[in-house]
Structure 1
Amino acid sequence: MRSTIKKIKRISLTTVAVIGATLLLNYANYKRYYSSIFTIQTVDFNILSHVLSTKLSILLADNNKREINKVINSNYGLFGLVITDCKTDKPDCPGQQVLFSTYSKYQSYASADLNNFTFDLLRNPPPLKVEQFYPKSTAKKRESTGQQNSGNIIGRVYYIRRKFPSFLIAQWSWLKNPFSFSSVNPLYNLTFAVMAIGGVTLYLLVEKKDLQNQQKEQEYQLKLLKTENELLKFRTFNSAFEQIIEQDFSSVIANNLQQLDSLLKNILLRIESDAQNIIHDIYKAPLLFNPDTIPKYINQLEKDKGKSHISDELIELLKNLNKTIQTLKWVVEELRGITRIQSEPIIVQKQLKHFQQNLPPTIQDWQIDFVYPDTDLWINCNPWHLRSIIKNALYNSSSAMKKYRRKLKKEKKNFNGKIKVECKRKDDLVIIQIEDNGSGIPEDIIERLYETTERLNQTAGNLRGNGSIIISTYLTLHNGTVEKENLDQGARVSFIFPLIKQEA
């Protein structure tokens, strides 16, 4: 009976190993196959961008629908060609209508789905120059050739890649029809066959080895019987000793750990509940439900300023009120991340892009440029804390530039404030660098800025001037450091974190 169960387990493990190895290798086959399809489509699109816009411009100008349908369906539906009536060269064209599209069993095409795809303009007279091209077969985006065609824009042709199935869907399709010789299925079959043969061979070798071990085991049974009594005595002593340890120490430690774990969970639950309660209460504010109300009235008041004798100070006050409401709404949205206290592996670029797309309203008036490297940079940090570090540093840059602008305004000089946020790698470190062209960091606080829990701005109220404390605390939590320097015009602050290796 025991031998039968052992064989069943061994067969099960072998089966699981074969299936696992097959899936792993099939994933590599899947990636290679669809990467090749992507490359082929890139080459096709690059060729079409050199010739198709000219022919379609001629046919569309002549309203030759029959020939147009022949052209856009000549690819057998393996990728999409869509012609719309858009007459502008701007990337977005929300009002465009689809005139012609490739018939495909794989997918359908609608005007709302076209914004993310590349296109060429159709003109009258027809374009003769190539305006965009793929620099290499593996490129995902086209680059400009620097050439420009003349003529009236009469439409555009979109090049739409075929939607590839996910790996799980591809595997399910293969399992439903394993004997199909289309697509990548033959490669899947070959991989499974090789793994199955290898698994059976391994199973037979292990079975043979097991038989040999059973023979040796019988030889050792007599020796084991002689030592069994001594081993039993040792186990009895060990069991008694373990009971004493557990009664005197383990139970106390376990109870304390359980209480501590329960306490921490209650604290986190309370923080989360309090945060949600605050958010709930804030959203009861009427203006948060209708954030466009004040901008609407501000615009109306500016139009009627001369008739109604409304002062510029009142309009400026309303603008500041609107910015305050927008800031409050932004803070409420960010408050949802307050209960996340653990560090975790994160991609710095991903967090910076999220922050770039959700800038605090109080700093949106400045020109802020974000620069990222192509390679993902991983650090061990809480994502909400990282964005808070960047946010508070940008607040300080914004405050410095506002003071500098007021100073120059008194001197009747113009000021164009700029901030640059750059992420880069240096050896085994990740550096997030923030540079502005304001008045710089005061010399009396630059050495202690972001490196102490002391409030540096003693003139501010209790709820202000805490940015340096916040950043210093978060840097300490996540093994970060900071470097600061004043430039000829402005200041530069660099937040430095250890780079971690993260497997894809």
Structure 2
Amino acid sequence: MSKIKNTKTNQIVNKSKGAIVKVLARLTATGLISFGIGGAVTFDRYNSYWNQTIFRVQTVDFNILSHTLPTKLSYALIKKQPQEVQRTLDSNYSLFGLIVTDASGQKIIAYSGKDSGKSSSWKAALDPQQLQNHPYDVLLDPPPVFAQWTYSNSRATERSATDFTNQGRVIGRVYYVRGVRPTFQEDLMTLISNPFSGSSRIQTYTTSLVACFGATLLIWSGLEFMLYKKRVDKKKRDEIEEDLMSNNQILQSQLAQRINELQSLQKQRDNERNELMRDAENLRSLNNRLKQEILRLRESIKDLPNNTDAELQAELEQTKLQSEQNLAKKKQYEQHIKKLTQQLQRKQLETDVLQEQKESQIQELQEQINNTESQLAELQNNEENYQETIKVLEKQLNDKNSREIELQKQLESLQTSLSEYEEREQLLEQRAEEVKAKSKDLAEEMERYIEETGQHPLNNFEVDIKECLEQNFPNARIEIQFDVGTGRQGSRFTDFILVTEKYCVIIEAKSYTGKIKPLDNVRNSGWICERGSQRIHIFSCWGKNPYQQIKTYCDSLIKNKGLGINSKLPIYGIVVFPRGSCIDNSIQSNISAFYRVTTLDNFTMDIQELENQSQLN
């Protein structure tokens, strides 16, 4: 960890040193250039001062002196006033040379600054051989009246003769010697030794050099400011670029993760849908079996003999009637036995009287009683048989009713189960449809995400765009999923690029069907797609919205040379949504004229508008 920190610290220190060296190098280069220009300006001032200003001033002076000095000096020489001659020659402060010689010019009589001891650049001309190269006027006795030589103007380098001639004896010559200008290096040394001299020449040099120094600082400061601003702008652009790349990497990662999640979720939805369909099919099969069972039960209920109840009831009624008849006979026999018993008792009472007479009758009665009791016993057995028959018949009747009730209840239960299963089947089918719709939405969402993953198989919407371009622009070049990224930008795959001889259009496909509108600011906020109660965020892999994405592609294409298009060719951008989508009016009115946001219905027309716009430009 410490090694990494030390490495980063060394990198920062080296970077800072490198930046300082670059600043000093720029300062040095700027100073050299500025002082070079300043030296050239100073030399121009030097040349202008000595070769133009001073030369013209001396020309004017020589012209004036040529008109006046010969007369004055001639008169002083005639009057033998050498001191006056010297004072006259010293009146120019030795700024240039005035030299008086004899008539032959070989002997020097007097010259400017002779007694001052001040060295002058022109004193090299005191040599008679050198003196012959300079202009002169003759001194006459009597003094001349007219000037015999003159300069036509202050820029003239040579004198011309006048039309006047003076008469008299030549008594001497007066030579006019221009001051020898110092070399440029000598002037610079004078400037360095005394930069604040009162000399206008030195002041001019100082002003020029100070101006150059100030210009150096100003230019360097301006250059550094521009470079600083450029660095700041570059840093901001790099930060924005890095943010875009970082966001793109994050988005691509999230996109891949989201696609995997959607694929897994879609697989789950498909499995759930298949399971629901299987459950629905099982319920449908069960319902069919229940329906068949219900039909069978209904047939069973119908197949129950309808006459069984009547027969059993009739038999039961008949048995009851026979039982009642048997009971009636039993009662009759009982009464008959009672009567016979009473008769027997009476007969027994009478037996005592008529025992012998009545014994036969008593036996007869006894036999009748026995017969009657025998019939009564038989009736009793019949009664018991009838009761058992009644019980059996009643049991059969009750069993049949119970069976019918049980079948009816079972039928009702099956019908209830059938209704419940049918409802459940409908719910399962409805749930399956919902899962199918969700699966379809997931598939659409996954397609939209796949659109942003760079190179990918074209979806149906992109195929429609491709066919539309091929049909309406057969002579144009169509690039599919072209990477417009350059340098460190990373890959930036466009959906389509339409290249013609007059213009170029980058096309970005967005598979969102609904009303397209911005959340807030059109250029700097996200966009959404409203579809019913749904508000779907429109995904963009570069920037916050499709406008920023298509603009990023256009800006990158300007720097990208891989497409082989003319650098002066106008580049436009179009974001296309499917047919039936509605684009909010605020979007097109708030973006650049080089961009369009449209639907596939108006796609061709918008490209033609851009073509017309390129012709106007």
Normalised to the residue count of structure 1, the TM-score between the two structures is 0.41
- Flag the structure with higher helix content: 2
Structure of greater Rg? 2
